[in-house]
Amino acid sequence: MSYKAPVAQIDFILRHVVPFADVAATERFAEATPETATAILDEAGKLCSEVLAPLNMAGDHSPAVLENGVVRSSPGFADGFRAIADGGWVGVSADPEHGGMGLPQALNMSVAEMMSGANLALQLNPLLTQGQIEALEHHASDELKALYLPKLISGEWSGTMNLTEPGAGSDVGALTTRAEPAGDGTYRITGQKIYITWGDSDVTSNVCHLVLARLPGADKGTRGISLFMVPKFIPDDQGNPGVANDLKVVSLEEKLGIHGSPTCVMSYDGATGWLVGAENKGMAAMFTMMNCARLGVGMQGVGVAEAALQKAVAYAQDRNQMGPIIRHPDVRRMLATARAEVFAARAIGLACATAIDMERATGDADHAARAAFLTPIAKAYGTDTGIRVADMGVQVHGGMGYVEETGAAQYLRDVRITSIYEGTNGIQAMDLVGRKLADGGDAAMRLLDEVLDGAKAAQADNPELAHQLWQAAETLREATIALLDRDLPVRFAGAVPYLTAFARVLGGHYHLRAALRGGESHRALARVFMARVLPRNAGDLAEALAGLDDLTGIADEALAGDFAA
């Protein structure tokens, strides 16, 4: 079975579950009517199902390769990317002043999900370019904007982010890449970066790198980092790719999955770069790009989960073992639970996107706080769901799932990275219980109040589901209050299960909305979520509040398996 973009499912959530109508009611996004949104989803769905999905296995079997210093893309990827660019999909949410559509992030993330389900390795290219567009829109000079944004938005050029170094992974402040002023307004960038997604390719005429580096005399740590635009080819007077810059791809990583996406080790040897934003303020500019990418990665997880689930259901319908295995209780449990989690993760991601849209349209601080709070949840729960569902897909296939020709294993291999890049899910969870609870829990409590109010309002129409959700939300409120009284290291020990528990409560909230506004299928799916997924919160919240003593009390030697008498 080939991938079919879940247009109707996404459209239902935008119309009935998350507040997309409020976004369309703003002056900024007035053109994003329900009819327009549906038309955009339909067109993007056709591209994903008919053009991108057929290339997915080719990218896995014929990875990108490095030949004579140039990356050659997987078969068909150049044409696939050109279809994305020609359709205007790179610039869905970009500023119309530079050629973008100016549409809400909720629609952009919906398209991103479908592209990820169709072909994650290829979708990474526009995702990174979109993040660079956003960083430049917010922080670059007018001259850099005028030169780079039209080329990036049109898909003529592509963009990357360069943070990680061999000795500086998540600890970005330890980077050693240098930036020396050249005396003419440019800088000479020297250093090495690793894990650079789509760091080079032949699908665009120029690759534009945003590189973190340290200026002479700058402070140590993240406060002394600046951001620079370093193109593969230096633009000439007409803005076209000119002479080659002093940078190169040293090697490509051999990875577990996403083989069609070239992951590059980049070397900069006095390469010409231009400052983006203020000196020593590079992290603020880069985080603009990363926050966009984090939500996008969450939707990647949802997209791959959807694709893996579609394949698993099709196999279960066709595979006969004492009748079609889709009728077997355990197989049905796996498929139903997976479908319930995919719905929850998709709704959380789109709720986060609508909060971003409302903040941009209104400038309201409450919307900004909600978007900030939901971002780590959307990223972590979306990608964890992708991994769980892809793993389930292999299990449903049985032995055939372990055989590459079915394609089930590729989804698991491809999606596994999503819980690691753009900030590991552990970092997302620590961000949630750290910075995102630094307001005394105000943003968390606002969300929980909304969930509780929704459960109370639904009591008359669906008392069983409403009671289950209300109870879970109230328990989560109590756990949040308890966490707020603890020091950060203690919070961090339980951060991951706390984030997961919060995601499930939000998922239950959106399932309840769907049950009230949809048909019997939505009600049945909500019952599955409340009965089989939400109860897991009891164990997760117990772990979230378990403290730190048991973890510090076990010696490193014991962790290594050395149990001396």
- Which residues does the annotation mark as catalytic? 422
Report the C-alpha dihedral over residues 495, 497, 500, 506, rounded to 10 degrees: -80
Q: Compute how many other C-beta atoms are within 10 angstroms of the C-beta atom of residue 183.
A: 7
Residues 6 or more apart whose CB falls under 8 angstroms from that of 12 comprise: 514, 518
DSSP string, 331-386: HHHHHHHHHHHHHHHHHHHHHHHHHHHHHHHH--HHHHHHHHHHHHHHHHHHHHHH
DSSP code for 99: T
Between CA 392 and CA 398 the distance in angstroms is: 10
CA-based angle 499:500:502, to the nearest 5?
65
Residues 6 or more apart whose CB falls under 8 angstroms from that of 199 comprise: 71, 160, 162, 193, 207, 209, 249, 262, 263, 264, 266
Tell the residue number behind the tokens 């996004």, with chain if given: 29
Q: What phi, psi does 95 have (nearest 5°)? A: -65, 125
**Do 69 and 111 form a contact (C-beta atoms < 8 A)?**
no
**Do 379 and 295 form a contact (C-beta atoms < 8 A)?**
yes
Question: In this structure, what token pair is assigned to residue 238?
Answer: 């007409």
Q: Compute how many other C-beta atoms are within 10 angstroms of the C-beta atom of residue 460.
A: 8
In angstroms, how far apart are the furthest CA atoms of the chain?
77
DSSP string, 36-93: HHHHHHHHHHHHIIIIIGGGHHHHHHS--EEETTEEEPPTTHHHHHHHHHHTTGGGSS
Beta strand 70-72 pairing with 225-231 = unpaired
Distances in whole angstroms, Cα of residue 421 to Cα of each of 193, 227, 321, 369, 426: 15, 20, 40, 24, 11
